[in-house]
Structure 1
């Protein structure tokens, strides 16, 4: 009787819940059909893992529908492309269908990628009035005609670096217009659909491959501020797959500093065209999958995804092509990708970026400071029984660090790094990558550093890192313009991460001073165990002439760490 009762109970549960995964797609066939893993598949990674991101695939609804990856996993994002006004006529066909609404009905999100780099005509269309009308209509189309609605992610102007015309002045003017067009379109998208998210489509190929590395994207800060998420694409030939891991990690790390979810908006390893790969199709497929398999060795691991997630990655969208397709039941590369996606799949289609509540510096304690009132480089530590910290160390700057004693600028009360402006022993790095890169000759590792650790059995909550910075030039032979840069990096568990936005100060004439600027960095995401050590590094470099004997100073004061110790 007991066994019969159990059997009836199981049957009842099957009746109540068994049909929940059915997907009725109005265009022919189910978009999603979750199949159970068969015995021939490789075993899933059995190590504990809680890191999950939103996965997607495209390039359009039909292509996504035919994808084995979509049909054999529970990924929740379907990607569709818009390549210019020539696409509007057929995309309008969705207005008379239930396609979009039915996708949302089953709990899936839609990604719309707007790519306008096809030619000069479509690039100019991006900054014109017609595009603003069209993006409103596109948002209405991909919102659907109800009754079901869901999240719509619009990646606007993807690969925007390829849009500007040739010529420095013309390119600069175009970028300003494109940024303004983006901000206006973002407002239109938000006004048209309350579940629409928009992100600026940056090209991943512009990030350096060496880690760590950043690029100057400050010109797009206003556009990113108007965005709901940040995004970067990554597409390479199978011959160049080695470039992808470093470029992707650097892009995600830098974009994550904007405190918005980060999306790899479209990813592809292609097998090459006739010019660079004239082999038969079977060989092309093998080339692409072989490169993708090696890529997965590097990127698709628990540790790698954990690090990307910590930097802000929340979504990854594949382009449906040979590298990710299923070529028979024994396709080991496909099965490996499928298993990794399944293990790390976030089924909630709404991207989330968790925030640690942060407070203005005035509302938290100053745990330690280097205020440079004397000749010592040792920190002033509050609640010394709770934390310990090292002195301020000078790594390869090769400058005089000197106190106010004997300093011609004693009234300012700071501590200075004196840049003599002659030879290799001064700040002559031209880029942040050169300043940070250990293999870049005389410019290697130009930074100040110190370490901090909580005492045993204490919980350390960090919120802000701040410092004051100023630039000064003297006379004679001072370059007409001199700009210093300072960037905060954190080093924890042997991993160096760029934190926040780079700060700059300039003195543009002889005997000029930039004035003090307070740089503030959010470090609230750092977590500590008892006795765990973290290192802070302030990397410095400058842009300006390096061959003149001029008096110049980069000045620091009031380096502080704000937080609580409990």
Structure 2
């Protein structure tokens, strides 16, 4: 657990993240033992952060907006009930530490056609339904962008950077905006660019940062992560990110940090210096 890691004991870590990957996670995440863990973390002053993700196969189905092509679970009746259970488990009193919720991380990959707003009517309907299909009382909620969205632009179909403006109302009505950074070569440009662009719509959270371990060796993941952190966790870099709206940053794993004493010392100093 993140709370038990060395970096959490030696630096002012104030937020602990958990992943919900689908219905198979619901029973164990909401059982009494895990409830006690979450309650204990809140009592100790930690903000909790829940990341929801769906990787079920894409299909064509009927939703409230009509025929939809994409991943069905986030638009299902079950999803709404499952989110209610998670909200009860993770949520606390309004006067206590916040519960941050990143809904549908990498949500632009959920329709049958990725990364675009209006390539056809089915994908458009999927997004219209998804944007308003939110439920998380006593929480601060955002949609979760994939961190690659500003790398290109295709205005004709609302793709790339042009996709973001179509979610302006949804982002401004949310409590914050979030994105991930998991590129296998470098995340520096993505993190800076996404923070700058999304910061126009509200406070920005880097919801999960770690180079992709499925398509890269452990050595590559560790090396890229270290380069990311040594480049980004400097006084001038942090100042620029904060100026553009960044307020929170979540590492997916502490293993690369714990692996290197030099990197551990660097990150510990950075968190002690810049953490709030």
For the criterion TM > 0.5, the same-fold answer is yes
Residue number in structure 2 paired with 1:176? 128
Aligned residues: 254
Q: Distance in 2 between matches of 1:214 and 1:305?
A: 23
Q: How does 1:426-437 map to 2 (within 5 A)?
A: none
Q: How does 1:215-254 map to 2 (within 5 A)?
A: 215-237=162-184, 240-241=185-186, 244-254=187-197
Alignment CA distance shift 1:207-1:94 (3 Å): farther
Q: Distance in 2 between matches of 1:268 and 1:159?
A: 14
Q: As a proportion of its length, which structure holds more helix?
A: 2
CA contact (8 A) 2:209 2:251 kept: yes
Q: Distance in 1 between matches of 2:34 and 2:151?
A: 46
Alignment CA distance shift 1:163-1:96 (3 Å): closer
Superposed displacement of residue 303, structure 1: 0.5
Which structure 2 segments of 5+ residues have no match? 60-69, 114-118, 154-159
Residue number in structure 1 paired with 2:265? 335
Superposed displacement of residue 118, structure 1: 4.3
Residue number in structure 2 paired with 1:134? 82
Q: 1:207 aligns with which of 147, 150, 156?
A: 150
Pairwise CA RMSD = 2.6
Give 1 or 2 for the bigger CA radius of gyration. Answer: 1
Residue number in structure 2 paired with 1:100? 38
CA contact (8 A) 1:214 1:250 kept: no
Q: Distance in 1 between matches of 2:14 and 2:161?
A: 31
Residue number in structure 1 paired with 2:249? 316
Superposed displacement of residue 254, structure 1: 1.3
CA contact (8 A) 1:269 1:291 kept: yes
Runs (4+) of structure 1 moved beyond 6 Å? none
CA contact (8 A) 1:207 1:247 kept: yes
Residue number in structure 1 paired with 2:141? 198
CA contact (8 A) 1:117 1:162 kept: no
CA contact (8 A) 1:270 1:321 kept: no
TM-superposition CA deviations, 1:364-401 (whole Å, max 9, x none): xxxxxxxxxxxxxxxxxxxxxxxxxxxxxxxxxxxxxx
Superposed displacement of residue 257, structure 1: 1.0
Alignment CA distance shift 1:306-1:320 (3 Å): same
CA contact (8 A) 1:300 1:340 kept: yes
TM-score, normalised via structure 2 length? 0.83
Superposed displacement of residue 120, structure 1: 3.1
TM-superposition CA deviations, 1:280-323 (whole Å, max 9, x none): xxxx34x3332233223421211111011111111100001532
Q: 2:53 aligns with which of 115, 129, 143?
A: 115
CA contact (8 A) 2:30 2:89 kept: yes
TM-score, normalised via structure 1 length? 0.42
Alignment CA distance shift 1:96-1:230 (3 Å): closer
TM-superposition CA deviations, 1:247-285 (whole Å, max 9, x none): 211111111112x21110110024554xx54xxxxxx34
CA contact (8 A) 1:231 1:264 kept: yes
Residue number in structure 2 paired with 1:269? 211
TM-superposition CA deviations, 1:478-524 (whole Å, max 9, x none): xxxxxxxxxxxxxxxxxxxxxxxxxxxxxxxxxxxxxxxxxxxxxxx
Which structure 1 segments of 5+ residues have no match? 1-61, 278-283, 347-566
Q: Distance in 1 between matches of 2:35 and 2:49?
A: 18
Q: Distance in 2 between matches of 1:223 and 1:251?
A: 17
CA contact (8 A) 1:117 1:159 kept: no
Superposed displacement of residue 226, structure 1: 2.4
Alignment CA distance shift 1:178-1:272 (3 Å): closer
Higher RCO (CA-CA < 8 Å; seq separation 6+): 2
CA contact (8 A) 1:159 1:233 kept: yes
Q: Distance in 2 between matches of 1:296 and 1:72?
A: 18
Q: Distance in 2 between matches of 1:119 and 1:71?
A: 40
SS in 2 for 1:320: coil
